[in-house]
């Protein structure tokens, strides 16, 4: 009987018949096997130890991540408060002349839509609506930057075209550097009219049952230095003006259709006899039923001139 025959399982009881050479082979086979098991056991033990260490590191990193996330959350909450503080709150002078209602919703804690009410150097009231490219903290910071620049701008000039042009010239270098831009819709009110400059913004006037859409062909703020155009429209008691950003009209329903400017304008037109806040609510109700999900920041301002 040879070792190979025994190992093939023919007759293990006949080990004593093995030759000296086969016994020697068997001895080293057994020792070799033990040595391999010893090395493999050490390897797997080390792998197991290392796995435990890796889990411990992972736990620690998870805790660090949670701490960092908490810090970010707190910072975002503060950013949100700061951004709210930058939006207009009390505007009794505007309310004395206009009946208006505002809906402003950011997609995230802080966003890129910005609107404000101004009193120009010539005493007239004005509204600015901006939509800064992107979302989140960076867009909010650009918003704060634009607000600061606007304040300085309005100390220098008072015509809407001059204001927007001055603002663009003052900010284009920086905005190009950070690869951001903003749509602009700036409206200054006269006694029976308003003048506007519109670069990528949205505006609609309903007057005598007719819809007048803003000419929005001027460039966005921050793309290039260029002259802006200014337009004038009549705006008398009872006329309704709606200013908004693209968040609402570009939202889609479950079939992928846009809410559309046409639908919004028609809604403003058919409800133009209602108070401003009810017009706005009708728009929001209709939009809420239509859209599948909000995809962008939304700003909608509805405004009507009060009787003198």
- Which residues here bind other proteins, judged by CB under 8 A? 25, 28-29, 31-32, 35, 39, 42-43, 45-47, 49-50, 53
Go through 133-166 and write b for each residue having 16 or more CB atoms within 10 A of its CB, e for each that does not. Answer: bebbbbbbbbbbbbeebbeebbeebbbbbbbbbb
Instruction: Please give the sequence-ordered ranges of beta strands (E in DSSP) within the chain, or none if there are none.
Output: 98-105, 113-119, 125-132, 182-189, 193-199, 202-207, 210-213, 231-234, 240-244, 298-305
Least Å from the CB of residue 46 to other proteins: 4
Least Å from the CB of residue 55 to other proteins: 12
H/E segment holding residue 289 = helix 276-290
Residue 32 or 208 having the CB closest to other proteins: 32
Residue 47 or 74 having the CB closest to other proteins: 47
The count of other CB atoms within 10 Å of the CB of residue 278 is 13
Residue 45 or 152 having the CB closest to other proteins: 45
User: For residue 290, what are its two tokens?
Assistant: 């239509």
Residue 3 or 157 having the CB closest to other proteins: 3
Residue 35 or 63 having the CB closest to other proteins: 35
Least Å from the CB of residue 16 to other proteins: 21
Least Å from the CB of residue 59 to other proteins: 15
Residue 54 or 66 having the CB closest to other proteins: 54
Least Å from the CB of residue 30 to other proteins: 8
Contact of 83 with 299, CB cutoff 8 Å: no
Least Å from the CB of residue 23 to other proteins: 13
Sheet containing strand 202-207, edge to edge, reads 98-105, 298-305, 240-244, 202-207, 210-213
Contacts of residue 91, defined as CB under 8 A and 6 or more positions apart, other chains included, come to 117
Residue 35 or 84 having the CB closest to other proteins: 35
Least Å from the CB of residue 185 to other proteins: 46
DSSP string, 145-175: HHHHHHHHHHHH--SHHHHHHHHHHHHHHHH
Residue 23 or 82 having the CB closest to other proteins: 23
Question: DSSP alpha helices (H): ranges in 178-260?
Answer: 246-249
- By CB atoms closer than 10 A (0-12, 13-18, 19+), residue 210 is exposed
Three-state DSSP class for 120? coil
Least Å from the CB of residue 49 to other proteins: 4
């Amino acid at each position: 009987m040879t070792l190979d025959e025994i190992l093939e399982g023919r007759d293990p009881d006949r080990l004593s018949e093995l030759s000296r050479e086969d016994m020697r082979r068997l001895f080293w086979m057994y020792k070799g096997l033990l040595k391999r098991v010893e090395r493999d056991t050490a390897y797997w033990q080390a792998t197991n130890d290392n796995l435990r260490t890796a889990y411990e590191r992972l736990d620690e990193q998870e805790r660090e991540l949670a701490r960092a996330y908490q810090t970010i959350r707190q910072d975002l909450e503060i950013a949100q408060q700061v951004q709210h503080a930058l939006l207009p709150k009390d505007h009794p002078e505007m309310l004395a002349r206009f009946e208006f209602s505002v809906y402003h919703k950011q997609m995230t804690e802080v966003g890129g839509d910005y609107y404000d009410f101004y009193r120009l150097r010539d005493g007239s009231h004005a509204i600015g609506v901006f939509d800064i490219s992107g979302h989140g903290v960076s867009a909010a910071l650009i918003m704060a930057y634009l607000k600061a620049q606007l304040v300085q701008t309005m100390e220098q000039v008072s015509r809407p075209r001059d204001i927007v042009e001055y603002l663009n010239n003052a900010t284009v270098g920086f905005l190009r550097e950070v690869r951001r831009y903003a749509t602009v819709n700036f409206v200054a009110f006269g006694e029976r009219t308003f003048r506007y400059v519109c670069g990528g913004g949205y505006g609609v006037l309903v007057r005598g049952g007719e819809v007048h859409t803003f000419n929005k062909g001027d460039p966005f703020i921050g793309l290039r230095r260029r002259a802006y155009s200014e337009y004038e429209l009549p705006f008398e008691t009872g006329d309704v003006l709606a200013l908004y950003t693209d968040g609402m009209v570009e939202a889609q329903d479950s079939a992928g259709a846009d809410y559309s400017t046409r639908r919004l304008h028609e809604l403003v037109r058919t409800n133009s006899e209602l108070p401003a806040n009810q017009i706005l609510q009708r728009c929001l109700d209709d939009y809420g039923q239509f859209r599948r999900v909000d995809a962008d920041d939304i700003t909608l301002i509805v405004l009507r001139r009060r009787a003198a």
